[in-house]
Amino acid sequence: MDKDLNTLCMRIREWYAWHFPELGKIIKDNITYVKIAHLMGNRKEFDVEKNMSTLADLAKEQDLAQLVVQASKSSMGCDVSEFDMEAISKLTSRAVSFDDYRQQVSEYLITKMNDVAPNLSALIGEIVAARLINHSGSLTNLAKCPASTIQILGAEKALFRALKSRKGNTPKYGIIFNSTFISRAKARDKGRISRYLANKCAIAARLDCFYDNATNIFGIALREQVEQRLVFYDTGKAPAKNIEVMQEVLKQASDLFPSDEPTKEADLSKKRKRNGDDMDVDDEPKKKKSKKDKKDKKKEKRKSKK
């Protein structure tokens, strides 16, 4: 959807620039440009008094809106016929509606991923997490994958090509390359941070799959660990240990979701029943047969046979 939207915006910029070329220099954002072009239409017929407030909302700054109005009055662009302007307005309306639909899909994806995999989404973002789950087939399949497999998910062709030729190096990352952590790392640290990030993704996926209570506190803590690892590669500052971080998170989880485990008194009552302390009076315990009784029975059998 982003690719299609960018293609539409590029076509509109190229087409509308014949009529109003100064707008492209003032407005840099593609979506804002398309919305302003859809609002203005023919710059000579634009009503400033009625649409000035709407133009200021689209431009997000009053100064930019005034610059657009001033440039439209003294523009060097050529005139456009009604037939061509109608085609341009249809294309801009299509792009605006497509952008609205893209935002709806994005909101749906965010809410869905926060329900399905909150920790993985908090760690690497909703889009990358959704692509990992989609590529592996399901969240359960992703949870079963080791960290080394998650690291190269999406780069299978490059992996098998390198293994077959035995010349090139195997890939360091697949889908997780789209995460911001790898792009922020230096060139020499990209392999190390991708391996570390894949390790944390494996933990987050297993928590999302097998943890009963849906929460993202584990994903937030794992994300902080990756941030500390990036700082460690740059400055050498030692990050916090994983055991300490997980213990703190487990304390938070126990406060948020109190467990329904049996109390100590219930455990003691169970042990007493097993030992026979809480047995009723009518229920007499079965006596165990001693070795002497067994020997006496054997002697009686032998005498009876004789």
Tell me the per-residue pLDDT of 199-215, one tens digit each, with 9 for 90 and over. 999 999 999 999 888 88
Whether residue 130 sits in one domain with residue 70: no
Residue 285 counted as domain residue: no
Domain hosting 82: range is 2-108
Q: Are 89 and 41 in contact (CB under 8 A)?
A: yes
Residue 126 counted as domain residue: yes
Amino acid sitting at position 178: N
- Cα separation, 160 vs 151, in Å, equals 15
Whether residue 89 sits in one domain with residue 184: no
Which pLDDT score is estimated for 306? 61
- Cα separation, 150 vs 148, in Å, equals 6
Tens digit of pLDDT per residue, the chain (306 long)? 999 999 999 999 999 999 888 888 888 889 999 999 998 888 888 888 888 888 888 888 888 888 888 888 888 888 888 898 899 999 999 999 999 999 999 999 999 999 999 999 999 999 999 999 999 999 999 999 999 999 999 888 888 888 888 777 888 889 999 998 998 988 888 999 999 999 999 999 999 999 888 888 999 999 999 999 999 998 888 888 888 888 888 888 887 777 655 444 555 555 555 555 444 444 444 555 566 676 777 777 777 766
The CATH number that applies at residue 52 is 1.10.287.4070
The structure tokens 């302390």 sit at 277
Whether residue 89 sits in one domain with residue 17: yes
Q: Which residues contact 194 (CB under 8 A, 6 or more apart)?
A: 151, 172, 173, 176, 177, 182
Residue 228 counted as domain residue: yes
- Count other C-beta atoms under 10 Å from residue 24's C-beta: 14
Whether residue 139 sits in one domain with residue 102: no
How many domains does the chain contain in total?
2
Instruction: Please give the model's pTM, rounded to 2 decimal places.
Output: 0.70
Residue 166 counted as domain residue: yes
